[in-house]
Amino acid sequence: MNVVKTGILLAGMTALFMGVGFMIGGQGGMMVALAVAAAMNLFSYWNSDRMVLSMHGARQVDRRSAPELVEMIEALSARAGLPVPKVYIIDNPQPNAFATGRNPQNAAVAATTGLLATLNREEIAGVMAHELAHIKNRDTLIMTVTATIAGAVSMLANFGLFFGGNRDNNNPLGFVGVLVTMIVAPLAAMLVQTAISRTREYSADRLGAEICGDPAWLASALGKIAGGVRRTENRTAEANPASAHLFIINPLSGARMDNLFSTHPATENRIAALMQFAREMGRPASAGFGDAAPAGPWGAAQGGAGPTGPRTGPTGPRRGPWGGR
C-alpha cells in the first residue's frame, strides 16, 4: 500500500509541475517545465549524495577508523541482503542519522557523533537498520526526486510572475491567475513532498525493525533522538533545511508535530507503531525499551566484545545480527 501511495503522490507531483508550466505558458510552458524537471532530476540523480554529505561535513570511516560501527553495518547489510554502503560520521552534537545515494550499489549512511555518544549499541543498530531500510526501499532516490520537483515547482511559479502579464505569450490565466498559481503551487508541492516523506518513514521503521531483529531497539532510539533534537540545535541543518527530510528525526527546531507541513510523523506515533509490531512478532513490548545500559555503543561497561559477539547487560543477552541468538 505504501508503494502504491508513493506512486500516486509522485504522479501528482509531476502533474502539478507540468500544470504550473501550462498555466504560465500554455503547451510550450508545459514542455519547458518537463525539460527543466528532467534536467534537474538527472543532475540530482548523479550528484545529490555527494552534495548532502559535503553540506553536513561528513567524513568517511572504515574498519581502521571506526571498526565496530563499520562491522555493525556490514552485519546488518548482510541481514538486509544489501551491498555494504559507505559509512560516514558527522561531527555534530545533535543525535541523528541519514542515508543517501541513488541506488543500493551507490549508497551511504551517516551518523552524527551525538548519536554515537547518546545511544547504546542496540539502539544504534536499530537506527542503522532503519537507514538501510531506506536504501533497500530506494527511498533515497524517491526523496531526491520529490525534493527536486518541489523546488522546481517553486522556481517555475516565481518565473510566472515575470511572464504572466505578457500578452504575447500563451498564458491562459493572465497576471492575476499566475499570481495565485505562484502562491498555491509551492504549497501544494510542499504538501505532496511531506506526505511522501511521512509515508516512507513508517515503512522504513517497520523494515528496519525486521532487519535489526527487535522493534523496541528502534523505538527506544527514536525517543532518545527526539529528546536530543529538542535540546541540541543542528546549525548545519538549520542553514540547509531542504535536507531535513533525509534524517531519521527532523533536525530542525520548528517542526516537532505530525502536522500538515512536517516531513516526519510524530515520534510518539512511530514508537506506538513499532511497539504494536513488536507484539505482532511475539516480542515483549518492553524488550530492549528504556534499557538502563550506559549511553554509547562501544563502552566496556556495556559488555560484549564488539558487534560480532554477544552483548550482556542489565537485561541479559541480546538478540541481533552479531550473535547471542
**134 labelled binding-site residue:** yes
**264 labelled binding-site residue:** no
Q: Given the DSSP bridges, would you call strands 107-112 and 86-90 parallel, antiparallel or unpaired? A: parallel
Nearest to 6 by CA among 142, 107, 110: 142
Q: Which of 131, 210, 233, 280 is catalytic?
A: 131
Cα 92 from Cα 112, distance rounded (Å):
5
Active site residue 131: yes
- Length of the chain (residues): 325
Q: Which residues of 118-129 are buried (b: 16+ CB within 10 A; e: fewer)?
A: bbbbbbbbbbbb
Which grid coordinates belong to 202? 513508517
User: φ and ψ at 87, to 5 degrees?
Assistant: -115, 130
Cα 113 from Cα 63, distance rounded (Å):
17
> Which residues on adjacent β-strands are paired with residue 100?
108
Which grid coordinates belong to 181? 498559481
* Contact criterion met (CB below 8 Å) for 285 and 271: no
> For residue 101, which amino acid is it?
G
Residue appearing with cell numbers 528525526: 249
* Contact criterion met (CB below 8 Å) for 107 and 101: yes
- What is the Cβ-side half-sphere exposure of residue 119, based on CA atoms within 13 angstroms? 33
Nearest to 273 by CA among 201, 196, 193, 224: 201
**130 labelled binding-site residue:** yes
Which grid coordinates belong to 175? 497576471
Degrees, nearest 5: CA angle 234-207-210: 115
Q: Which residues of 265-291 are buried (b: 16+ CB within 10 A; e: fewer)?
A: bebeebbebbbebbeeeebeeebbbeb
Q: What radius of gyration, in Å, describes the C-alpha atoms of the chain? A: 22
- Which residues define the annotated binding site for Zn(2+)? 130, 134, 201
- Which residues define the annotated binding site? 130, 134, 201
Catalytic site residues?
131
